[in-house]
């Protein structure tokens, strides 16, 4: 039987809680130890978990482990995806790349920069919207700062179209989409229009860093 409380990285085994054979009991301080170790493996030795980010990580962890009681207290719906917002450099992308590793038995998502999707659209056209508006599991990174798409002289708000397609999948099959953004709600509406913005309210839980969160890349 697979024990979800133990995660092995190289030759080191990390415990993130206790598994009694039927139910998993997570231990948040142990999750933090594992995330910092995994972060160093993924991003380099300079990576660290900052004390001021622990509340956000706690909220995200409860969402990913699907702790319904703690999600309810935090105003999170486990059936929806995550819209993770905050200033440039505060660590949104790194955390979204990291958190999926605490639930190795769950279906993983791919983190894809929105600008890369638009560049692919410019080259390949509407097939790209179909590719990302399908049943795969994605986290769209840096939503709202990608350029407008242009294929054979036709402009297209590529990510807006993809979000509309993902909304249909969310309604039909509860397929989750995650995204990170530096923009606030008004800026997102200005970028994608009120129709997409209202769909985003239905699809996403908003988790936000404080506007004063520091740039960890400096």
- pLDDT, one tens digit per residue, over 26-75 is 999 999 999 999 999 999 999 999 999 999 999 999 999 999 999 999 99
Task: Sketch the domain layout of the chain as residue ranges.
Answer: 77-208
Domain 77-208: top CATH class: alpha beta
Helix (H, G, I), strand (E, B) or coil at 38: helix
Of 170, 163, 151, 157, the C-alpha closest to 197 is: 163
Give the separation between CA 35 and CA 40, rounded to whole angstroms: 9
- pTM of the shown model: 0.93
- With a CB cutoff of 8 Å and minimum separation 6, the contacts of 114 are 140, 141, 142, 143, 144, 145, 146, 159
Determine phi and psi for 173, rounding to 5 degrees.
Answer: -135, 10
For residue range 148-179, list pLDDT tens digits in order.
999 988 899 999 999 999 999 999 999 999 99
């Amino acid at each position: 039987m697979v024990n979800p409380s133990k995660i092995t990285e190289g030759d080191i085994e990390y415990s993130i809680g206790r598994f009694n054979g039927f139910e998993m009991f997570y231990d948040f301080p142990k999750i933090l130890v594992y995330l910092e170790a995994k972060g160093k493996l993924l991003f380099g030795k300079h990576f660290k978990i900052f004390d001021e980010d622990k509340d956000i990580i706690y909220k995200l962890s409860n969402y990913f482990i699907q702790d319904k009681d703690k999600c309810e207290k935090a105003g999170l719906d486990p059936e929806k995806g995550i819209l993770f917002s905050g200033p440039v450099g505060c660590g949104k992308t790194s955390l979204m790349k990291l958190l999926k590793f605490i639930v190795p038995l769950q279906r993983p998502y791919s983190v894809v920069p929105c600008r890369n999707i638009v560049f692919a659209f410019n080259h390949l056209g509407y097939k790209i919207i179909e590719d990302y508006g399908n049943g795969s599991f994605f986290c769209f990174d840096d939503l709202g700062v990608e350029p407008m798409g242009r294929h054979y002289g036709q402009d297209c708000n590529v990510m807006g179209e993809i979000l509309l397609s993902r909304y249909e999948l969310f309604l039909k099959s509860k397929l989750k989409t995650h995204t990170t953004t530096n923009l606030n709600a008004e800026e997102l509406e200005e970028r994608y229009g009120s129709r997409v913005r209202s769909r985003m309210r239905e699809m996403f839980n908003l988790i936000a860093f404080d506007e004063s969160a520091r740039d960890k890349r400096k």
